[in-house]
Amino acid sequence: MQADIARTAGNIDRGYAIHRQVVRTPQIGICGGFGQHRGPIGIQVSGCRGPDYTRLETPVPVDVTAERQKLVALRERELTLRAQSQPGVAACYARYQG
């Protein structure tokens, strides 16, 4: 809930949301090694390939008015959930710390 509130407030402050994704990109490099069967002097150098992962952040337009309404609803819901959880939290403290 708090993460949703923070994200929505950030969207309002910036005027846009941020879409985050991890994409796989090719990686090419030079690999090497020492030891038996590695060439005439025991050294091997070859090309190697493997996946690399890059995190991309892309701005996404938002309706700031709708985001403000969403933030109000999230904060109201948070207050409701806190109020509903208080008796259980108090009972837990009484039982295990008392």
Say what the pLDDT of residue 26 is: 78
- Residue 62 confidence class, pLDDT cut points 50, 70, 90: very high
- Residue 11 confidence class, pLDDT cut points 50, 70, 90: very high
Q: What's the pLDDT tens digit per position in 12-38?
A: 999 999 999 999 987 777 776 655 555
Q: What's the pLDDT tens digit per position in 66-96?
A: 999 999 999 999 999 999 999 999 999 999 9
Tokens coding 65: 């008015």
State the helix-helix crossing angle for 64-97 and 2-14, rounded to 10 degrees: 150
CA atoms of 24 and 31, how far apart (whole Å): 20
Q: Could you give the number of structural domains in the chain?
A: 1
Strands (E), the chain: 16-34, 43-61
Q: What is the extent of the structural domain holding 15?
A: 2-97
35 Cβ neighbours under 8 A, 6+ residues apart: 42
Answer whether 0.85 is exceeded by the pTM: no
CA atoms of 20 and 64, how far apart (whole Å): 19
